[in-house]
């Protein structure tokens, strides 16, 4: 029997217990062992809960019980979660987590600690919710030099953008509706400003490079400036708008990474990823493009990924699973120096100025819109685009990168 402790009995934590219990026969078969949830750590009491008797309030009960060999850290945050994870790993207990913030911040250190103690630190649930993406990168695409990763990594923003597209509604309106339905937090900043996607692309980029990509250095823009009008012009051009976390290996030591809304062709496989679904698009030098799609959040999908890590730990008791993510920092390329084309929306009276500023581009028109127009610039440096937009001032109403 393998004893498991769950740290945090919130949404994901209760999901982990539910998956282990409800799919007991499968999980035990796949683990080649019997899994038993021995403890659930939470500060709260859960009177009447079927697992009430497993609740403990002191993490030391878990840390000092030699029978516990796997710990699921689903508390979130980088305070107590960081301490408990370190303590568990130091005692040779494997840790499985959905905590992207902690993984992005302390991944290499915790992986090293796990290795030193012949146990594992696994984090399949930290990116893409239930979508298998971490294990495919670590254990499936092992013959590939991975050149680029582009993902729709945040369910809340994808839900909002999908709704805006479908209903022609503006951001604020859809955000409010999403909050009312519980799809967006009351304090939505981490999602809508792109911070959540940033942590996830930092994790994926680090695995791509085998070295550390500092999430705090990634240029990050959210979706708050995207308007219903932009979706109209996108549609006129056969495009849609998605929040991408994207990362491209420029060399073994340098990566171009950013989080921002991108306007993409409706023909792109990522264009059909709607609502709360996520997808990760990976480009390798032998395989070319591959994509991994599914539910990027939610209690049971996320819990399923945590439990798949528990199964992997059970299969590798006392053995460290290979994961390449060194402490060495990767250089982040200066986004301002990179080249791409852009969409701008500008006031109708500025047509001549826009065409003069970005010669050789393409005008987009939408019936019944007379006060503004859309424009695709040619490929140009980000810094040149920014400088020209600054000169144009208030005449530029929106700007979105093309991918």
Residues that bind its own copies (CB under 8 A): 19-20, 22-23, 26-27, 29-32, 124, 130-132, 135-136, 139-145, 210, 267, 269, 271-273, 284-295, 300-301, 303-305, 307-308, 310-312, 315, 322, 324
| Three-state DSSP state, 89 | helix
- Active-site residue among 200, 211, 242, 395? 200
Catalytic (active site) residue 54 = no
> In this complex, which beta carbon is closest to its own copies, that of residue 215 or of residue 308?
308
The C-alpha atoms of residue 153 and residue 138 are separated, in whole angstroms, by 18
> In this complex, which beta carbon is closest to its own copies, that of residue 95 or of residue 392?
95
Count each helix (H run) and each strand (E run) in the chain, helices first.
Answer: 14, 19
Q: CB–CB of 197/243 below 8 Å?
A: yes
Residues 6 or more apart whose Cβ sits within 8 Å of residue 280: 127, 128, 131, 133, 149, 150, 151, 152, 153, 204, 291, 292
DSSP 212: B
**Minimum CB distance to its own copies, residue 393 (Å):** 40
> In this complex, which beta carbon is closest to its own copies, that of residue 131 or of residue 198?
131
DSSP 330: P
The C-alpha atoms of residue 84 and residue 81 are separated, in whole angstroms, by 5
**Minimum CB distance to its own copies, residue 146 (Å):** 9
**Minimum CB distance to its own copies, residue 292 (Å):** 6
> In this complex, which beta carbon is closest to its own copies, that of residue 29 or of residue 176?
29
**Minimum CB distance to its own copies, residue 48 (Å):** 24
The C-alpha atoms of residue 28 and residue 22 are separated, in whole angstroms, by 11
DSSP 51: T
Q: Are strands 372-376 and 331-332 parallel, antiparallel or unpaired?
A: unpaired
Q: CB–CB of 161/221 below 8 Å?
A: no
**Minimum CB distance to its own copies, residue 26 (Å):** 6
Tell me the CA distances in angstroms from 128 to 42, 209, 274, 277, one per residue in order: 25, 19, 14, 9
> In this complex, which beta carbon is closest to its own copies, that of residue 82 or of residue 262?
262
The C-alpha atoms of residue 57 and residue 288 are separated, in whole angstroms, by 49
Catalytic residue set: 200
């Amino acid at each position: 029997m393998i004893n498991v402790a769950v740290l945090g009995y919130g949404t994901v934590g209760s999901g982990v217990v539910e998956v282990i219990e409800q799919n007991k026969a499968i999980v035990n078969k796949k683990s080649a062992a019997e899994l038993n949830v021995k403890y659930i750590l939470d500060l709260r009491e859960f009177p009447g809960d079927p697992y009430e008797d497993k609740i403990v309030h002191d993490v030391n009960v878990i840390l000092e019980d030699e029978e516990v060999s796997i710990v699921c850290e689903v508390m979130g945050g980088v305070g107590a979660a960081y301490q408990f994870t370190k303590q568990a790993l130091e005692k040779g207990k494997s840790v499985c987590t959905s905590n992207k913030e902690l993984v992005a911040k302390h991944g290499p250190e915790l992986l090293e600690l796990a290795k030193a103690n012949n146990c594992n630190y696994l984090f399949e649930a930290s990116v893409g919710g239930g979508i298998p993406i971490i294990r495919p990168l670590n254990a499936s695409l092992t013959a590939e030099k991975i050149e680029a990763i582009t993902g729709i990594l945040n369910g809340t923003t994808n839900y909002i953008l999908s709704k805006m597209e479908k209903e022609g509604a503006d951001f604020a309106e859809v955000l409010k509706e999403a909050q009312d339905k519980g799809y967006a937090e009351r304090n939505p900043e981490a999602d809508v400003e792109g911070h959540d996607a940033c942590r996830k692309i930092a994790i994926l980029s680090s695995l791509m490079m085998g070295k550390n990509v500092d999430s705090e250095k990634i240029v990050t823009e959210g979706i708050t400036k995207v308007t219903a009008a932009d979706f109209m012009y996108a549609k006129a051009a056969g495009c849609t708008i998605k929040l991408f976390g994207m990362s491209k290996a420029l060399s073994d030591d340098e990566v171009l990474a950013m989080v921002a809304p991108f306007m993409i062709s409706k023909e792109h496989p990522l264009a059909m990823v709607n609502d709360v679904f996520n997808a990760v698009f990976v480009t390798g030098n032998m395989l070319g493009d591959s994509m991994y799609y599914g539910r990027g959040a939610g209690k049971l999908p996320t819990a399923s990924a945590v439990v798949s890590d528990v199964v992997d730990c059970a299969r590798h008791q006392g053995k460290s699973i290979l994961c390449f993510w060194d402490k060495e920092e990767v250089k982040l390329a200066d986004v301002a120096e990179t080249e791409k084309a852009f969409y701008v929306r500008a006031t109708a009276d500025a047509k001549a100025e826009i065409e003069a500023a970005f010669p050789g581009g393409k005008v987009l028109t939408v019936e019944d819109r007379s006060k503004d127009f859309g424009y695709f610039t040619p490929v140009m440096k980000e810094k040149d685009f920014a400088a020209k937009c600054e000169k144009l001032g208030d005449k530029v109403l929106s700007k979105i990168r093309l991918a």
